Amino acid sequence: MTVQANELHPEDTVQSPMKELDDRGCRSGGGAKARGRGRKNNPSPPPDSDLERVFVWDLDETIIVFHSLLTGSYAQKYGKDPPMAVTLGLRMEEMIFNLADTHLFFNDLEECDQVHIDDVSSDDNGQDLSTYSFATDGFHAAATSASLCLATGVRGGVDWMRKLAFRYRRVKEMYSTYKNNVGGLLGPAKRDAWLQLRAEVEALTDSWLTNALKSLSIISSRSNCVNVLVTTTQLIPAVAKVLLYSLGSAFPIENIYSATKIGKEGCFERIMQRYGRKVVYVVVGDGVEEEQAAIKHNMPFWRISSHSDLLALHQALEFEYL
């Protein structure tokens, strides 16, 4: 139950990372102040915050099996039926983008991608949106004609930026409302199809998501720990994924970061600015990019490449080694 030595920065010679983790044990007791879990929604923890550990998670092939279904690599690795795996992946992909387009403005926001849900909130004037008509406010036409949404982050006029901010605010509201009731967002027919698809994916992947959720749940239950998600998926489809894989209880929307524009290392730096340097960061992922970013910032890295890695992580958390 140890983090491999080669996954840590070679200059970190003061003490082993697991020793450091033990010394600063993130335990549900641990002298933590009693408080509601709602504080995790605070983008900037107060200086006297008792937060001790931040778990920075990758999404695809770490918490969920998705991309490797589409490519067939999961089926090949685990001796599953490749056509069935690819079909399940395509069905889930369709559901993700359908949710993103239908409920989360992805048609409007695809070219206006942000790293974090609050990145344009300063342009929001707080207007009541209960009777606001997104369909007729002219945002999409203006964006199309003026090419205002560019990857370089070129900003449009005040009116356009406000409409952009309104959309991200509504996404935030939708997430908050439906993160524990995705079926209510989808409606009865799509809900049944979603539950069936989830069951089929879980069966094919031998309960991969269920095993990941066990670790996420333990961390979420601790008052001095927090889960943060960093994914290469664009922010809006990432939010759709989190909803459809029932991860909303583990990740407040403020804890979801998209690395599409700035890379995972850029996201890690933003997360460190947010939570400070007194906490211990533990990176959980399967890819080279998050591993290299972890090494650069002296963060312990827990590699997920199989079911056994997920089970070992759960055991380490259950016995409070992590």
Q: Residue 44 — pLDDT band, cuts 50, 70, 90?
A: low
Compute the average pLDDT of residues 219-234.
98
Structure-token pair, residue 196? 């069936």
Q: Which CATH class is domain 53-319?
A: alpha beta
pLDDT at 284: 99
pLDDT at 34: 33
On whether 137 is known to bind a ligand per the annotation, the reply is no
Domain ranges of the chain: 53-319
Q: What pTM was estimated for this model as a whole?
A: 0.84
Structure-token pair, residue 281? 């960061």
CB 180 within 8 A of CB 248: yes
Instruction: Tell me how long the chain is.
Output: 322
Judging by beta carbons within 10 Å of its beta carbon (0-12, 13-18, 19+), is residue 17 exposed, middle or buried? Answer: buried
Q: Report d(CA 265, CA 260) in Å as an integer.
A: 11
Q: Is 306 helix (H, G, I), strand (E, B) or coil?
A: coil
Scanning the structure block, which residue is given the tokens 């972890």? 294
Active site amino acids: 58, 60
Long-range pairs, 271-280, Cβ under 8 A, ≥24: 271/54, 271/56, 271/228, 271/230, 272/297, 274/43, 274/44, 274/45, 275/45, 275/51, 275/54, 275/226, 276/45, 279/51, 279/52, 279/53, 279/54, 280/20, 280/21, 280/24, 280/26, 280/52, 280/53, 280/54
pLDDT at 4: 42
Helix (H) or strand (E) holding 281: strand 280-285
More confident call, 3 vs 5: 3
Q: How far is CA 89 from CA 45, 73, 82, 156, in A?
A: 38, 12, 11, 37
**Contacts with 166 (C-beta within 8 Å, 6 or more apart), sequence order:** 124, 127, 129, 132, 134, 137
In the chain, the percentage of residues whose pLDDT exceeds 90 is: 77
CB 124 within 8 A of CB 98: no
Neighbours of 144 (CB within 10 A): 12
- Distance from chain centroid for Cα 267: 12
On whether 286 is known to bind a ligand per the annotation, the reply is yes
- Say which DSSP state 200 is in: H
Q: Report d(CA 218, CA 15) in Å as an integer.
A: 26
For 157-187, what is each residue's pLDDT tens digit? 889 999 999 999 999 999 999 999 999 999 9
The answer to whether residue 124 scores a pLDDT higher than 90 is: yes
Compute the average pLDDT of residues 85-91.
98
On whether 60 is known to bind a ligand per the annotation, the reply is yes
On average, the pLDDT of the chain sits at: 86
pLDDT at 248: 98
The answer to whether residue 254 scores a pLDDT higher than 90 is: yes
CB 21 within 8 A of CB 298: no
